[in-house]
Amino acid sequence: MINHEERNQIFHKLRACLLEDVPANFEELALISIVDAANVYRLISNVKGECHRMKEKYESLLTDNVAGNSATDLILKIKNALFHTYNSYDPETICAGK
């Protein structure tokens, strides 16, 4: 079951890292990396213009942050996995039980 209060706290922390210059730890960078890899910034913001600002901040976090430097390999693996999952999706195969 989804705990909405806990989810909102996580989203608030991620927004603070991306919009309010709050330092991001490794776990927060990993979550932001998943958001970036899936390009679903709208999960944590529905304010027009914020998504673009968040993406720019994420890219600067990776280059400026020590934790970001150590997370780069993990981030690339996440992006590759999501890319391959998305591109290999075939609804006909799934519906046919193959």
pLDDT tens figures, 5-56 = 998 899 999 999 999 988 888 788 888 888 887 788 888 887 888 888 998 8
Q: What is the pLDDT of residue 58?
A: 84
Asked if residue 27 lies in contact with residue 12, where contact means CB atoms within 8 angstroms, the answer is: no
Structure tokens at 64: 């400026």
Specify the residue for token string 């989804």. 2
Q: What is the pLDDT of residue 88?
A: 67
Query: Cα torsion at 53, 87, 93, 98 (round to 10°)?
Result: -110
**How far apart are alpha carbons 48 and 67 in whole angstroms?**
29
What pTM did the predictor assign? 0.66
Q: Is pLDDT at 65 greater than 70 in this prediction?
A: no
Asked if residue 72 lies in contact with residue 62, where contact means CB atoms within 8 angstroms, the answer is: yes
